[in-house]
């Protein structure tokens, strides 16, 4: 078997390119990898394979659990406090985050685990669906800004918002920091 592919040294590959690498039976080394590529996660989901991997940090493992990719890498299901959103990897490697209606009243929204997971994934984009929220409060606004900071350089796009939420985002000029779609 050849040397493992080192994620920290590998160029950004598309999901299709990762699928070819995985089909060849390559071992993936996550040792020293600060941001795990979500395009690799998309390829794993498409292929339904369980790649052989080495040396994954706890922070990266936690991020994989948040986006539901933990089982594909032999990781136990998420064990952190119940997060106020669901997250999943799309076929293109972007991450879709659906915010729960209870996000503004859930204490964990204002904690580090609610946003720091994004700092450990290399994503082409983060799409945040605000469709379940009827209004925003300071907790959700702070979380959105922290998520944007953690996900950087990936763009964070906010969508699905109702008129009230859109008005609040514009009034606070968050449309200057985060993209409204």
Sheet of strand 27-29, all strands in order from the earlier edge strand to the far edge: 5-6, 27-29, 52-54
Length of the chain: 181
Model pLDDT for residues 3-20, shown as the tens digit of each residue: 777 776 555 788 888 888
Distance (Å, whole) CA 83 – CA 12: 29
Is the bond preceding residue 153 a cis peptide, omega within 30 degrees?
yes
Q: What is the mean pLDDT of residues 29-56?
A: 80
Q: Which two tokens stand for residue 56?
A: 């994954």
- How far apart (Å, rounded) are the C-alpha atoms in residues 73 and 76? 9
Q: Where does the pLDDT of residue 44 fall: very low under 50, low under 70, confident under 90, or very high at 90 and above?
A: confident
Distance CA 83, CA 93 (A): 21
Q: What is the largest CA-CA distance in the chain?
A: 57
pLDDT, residue 22, reads: 78
Domains in the chain, please, with CATH? Answer: 5-180 (3.30.750.24)
Q: Given a cut of 70, is residue 100 above it in pLDDT?
A: yes
């Amino acid at each position: 078997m050849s040397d493992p592919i080192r994620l920290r040294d590998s160029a950004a590959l598309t999901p299709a390119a990762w699928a070819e690498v995985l089909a060849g039976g390559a071992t993936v080394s996550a040792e020293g990898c600060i941001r795990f590529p979500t395009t690799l996660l998309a390829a794993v989901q498409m292929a339904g394979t369980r790649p052989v991997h080495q040396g994954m940090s706890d922070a990266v493992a936690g991020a994989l659990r948040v986006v539901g990719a933990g089982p594909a890498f032999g990781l136990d299901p998420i064990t952190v406090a119940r997060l106020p959103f669901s997250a999943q990897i799309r076929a293109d490697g972007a991450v879709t985050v659906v915010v729960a209606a209870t996000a503004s009243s859930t204490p964990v929204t204002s904690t580090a685990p609610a946003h720091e997971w994004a700092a450990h994934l290399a994503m082409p984009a983060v799409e945040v669906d605000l469709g379940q929220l009827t209004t925003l409060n300071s907790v959700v606004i702070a979380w959105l800004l922290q998520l944007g900071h953690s996900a950087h350089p990936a763009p964070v796009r906010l969508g699905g918002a109702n008129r009230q939420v859109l008005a609040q985002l514009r009034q606070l000029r968050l449309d200057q920091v985060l993209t409204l779609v």
